[in-house]
Amino acid sequence: MPRAGQRPRLVDVAERADVSLATASRALAGRDGVSAEVADRIRQVARDLGYVANPYARTLAGGASSTVGLIVHQVDDPYFSEIAGGVIQLAAEQGLLVQICQSGRDPDYELQQLRHLIAQRVGIILISGSGYDDPRVEAEARAELTAFQAHGGRVAAIGRHALGVDAVLPDNEAGGNALAHHLIDLGHRRITVAAGSAGLTTVADRLAGVSSALRQRGLPPTDLAVVHGDFTRGGGRAVTEQILNEHPETTAIIALNDAMAMGVLSTLRSRRIPVPGRMSVVGFDDVSVAADLAPSLTTIRLPMTEMGRTALSLALKPRSTRPRRRSTGHLLVVRDSTGPAPTA
């Protein structure tokens, strides 16, 4: 064990955890070959001893690394690619490199990617994408980020509530509220939400905004149906088939992101259902291709490129005593995919 005043070593962690030096090294680097139970025990011992893993020490002792680690849910989703573009823009201005990882909306894989970035000795970690409505799911990620920051790393998030770090928070609830009011103003009363996977805070927040709009207009909850699916274009296609089969009275579909909205439009087109003559469709995010769809998509505009820049700028600032929050605002952009509700 370390003597008084001596920095704890990897061998001290291995001895306290009763594992080999190689096993301790693999666990702290986030590599495969160690069971989850053993790896958790080793990391807890490291935290208890105040051990600084080599990836931290070699890189952060003399200042921030020149690499930014960015974790997104899905690299081919235009929402995340535009956010990544903002991160890359500012990183280039600051002489930094960006390493991008994909979590696939899997919290366990996200944790693995997070540990990978730490092992790769990045100086800044940015996490972009919805959080999870069960705080226990994010507890391990929060613990890793807390340790990373304690040893000089910097962290910021986009769209996350519970990580205890600086964050850029999209205007999700207000945006959902604006979409529903727009459709109600057009006379729609049979509205169905094409929602992403249950358990995502982004889905819950946007759905809460839609529901609050119905309450504000005195409409019964039965006027709103919700169908969950993958938060992707393919998910939008599958959900639309389910809506047409199970909720044929629907006159408007609210897709909770533009990727799903693209899938909705694709299915309606293949089924020869006129948009907006028979069915109005709205999305959320206003990705760059939304205006070029046929019909062009009514959606909520978020400043995605600026969100990426803002997150990195927060991470570049000295750490504050309390996490900083930046709200994005939102704008309803009305295009050709919405129109008056069809008459009976």
Q: What is the CATH number of the domain that holds 49?
A: 1.10.260.40
Based on the domain organization, do 123 and 30 belong to the same domain? no
Based on the domain organization, do 265 and 154 belong to the same domain? no
Based on the domain organization, do 152 and 195 belong to the same domain? no
How far is 131 from 283, CA to CA, in rounded Å?
Answer: 20
Which candidate, 343, 334, 272, 248, places its Cα nearest to that of 297? 334
User: Does residue 229 form part of some domain?
Assistant: yes
Which candidate, 148, 166, 170, 141, places its Cα nearest to that of 156? 166
Based on the domain organization, do 190 and 285 belong to the same domain? yes
Give residue 344's pLDDT: 67
CA distances (Å), 221 to each of 92, 132, 148, 276, in order? 49, 25, 45, 24
User: Does residue 231 form part of some domain?
Assistant: yes
Based on the domain organization, do 160 and 118 belong to the same domain? yes
User: Does residue 121 form part of some domain?
Assistant: yes
How far is 285 from 297, CA to CA, in rounded Å?
Answer: 11
Q: Mean pLDDT over residues 92-113, rounded?
A: 91
Other C-beta atoms lying within 10 Å of the C-beta of residue 85 = 15
For residues 259 and 119, the model is more confident at 259
Q: What is the DSSP letter of 162?
A: S
**What is the end-to-end Cα distance of the chain in Å, rounded?**
79
At 61, the pLDDT band (50, 70, 90 cuts) reads very low
How far is 262 from 256, CA to CA, in rounded Å?
Answer: 11
Based on the domain organization, do 37 and 85 belong to the same domain? no
For residues 302 and 115, the model is more confident at 302
pLDDT at residue 54 is higher than 70: no
The residue type found at 140 is E
pLDDT at residue 59 is higher than 50: no
Find the length of the chain.
Answer: 344
Give residue 58's pLDDT: 44
User: Does residue 101 form part of some domain?
Assistant: yes
For 323-343, write each residue's pLDDT tens digit: 999 999 999 999 999 999 998
Give residue 52's pLDDT: 65
How far is 105 from 132, CA to CA, in rounded Å?
Answer: 9
The residue type found at 158 is I
Give residue 220's pLDDT: 87
For residues 343 and 61, the model is more confident at 343
Give residue 56's pLDDT: 46
CA distances (Å), 113 to each of 56, 65, 162, 344, in order? 16, 18, 18, 52
For 278-332, write each residue's pLDDT tens digit: 999 999 999 999 999 999 999 999 999 999 999 999 999 988 889 999 999 999 9
For 230-261, write each residue's pLDDT tens digit: 999 999 999 999 999 999 999 999 999 999 99
For 137-195, write each residue's pLDDT tens digit: 888 899 999 989 988 899 999 998 789 999 999 999 999 999 999 999 999 999 999 99
Which candidate, 68, 162, 49, places its Cα nearest to that of 123? 68
Based on the domain organization, do 106 and 198 belong to the same domain? no
E strand or H helix at 49, and its extent? helix 36-49
Based on the domain organization, do 150 and 294 belong to the same domain? no
At 8, the pLDDT band (50, 70, 90 cuts) reads confident
Number of domains in the chain: 3
Q: What is the DSSP letter of 292?
A: G
Average pLDDT, the chain: 90
Based on the domain organization, do 271 and 225 belong to the same domain? yes
For 254-281, write each residue's pLDDT tens digit: 999 999 999 999 999 999 999 999 999 9
Based on the domain organization, do 105 and 136 belong to the same domain? yes
If DSSP codes are grouped into helix, strand and coil, which group holds residue 74? coil
User: Does residue 29 form part of some domain?
Assistant: yes
Other C-beta atoms lying within 10 Å of the C-beta of residue 317 = 11
Whichever domain contains 114, its CATH number is 3.40.50.2300
How far is 114 from 298, CA to CA, in rounded Å?
Answer: 35
User: Does residue 335 form part of some domain?
Assistant: no
Structural domain that includes position 313: 67-169+305-328
The residue type found at 152 is G
Give residue 10's pLDDT: 83
Name the E strands within the chain.
67-72, 97-102, 124-128, 154-158, 166-169, 191-195, 224-228, 252-255, 280-282, 299-301, 325-327, 331-333
User: Does residue 61 form part of some domain?
Assistant: no
If DSSP codes are grouped into helix, strand and coil, which group holds residue 142? helix
User: Does residue 23 form part of some domain?
Assistant: yes
Give residue 43's pLDDT: 87
Burial class (CB in 10 A: 0-12, 13-18, 19+), 131: buried
Q: What is the pTM of this model?
A: 0.81
Based on the domain organization, do 203 and 283 belong to the same domain? yes
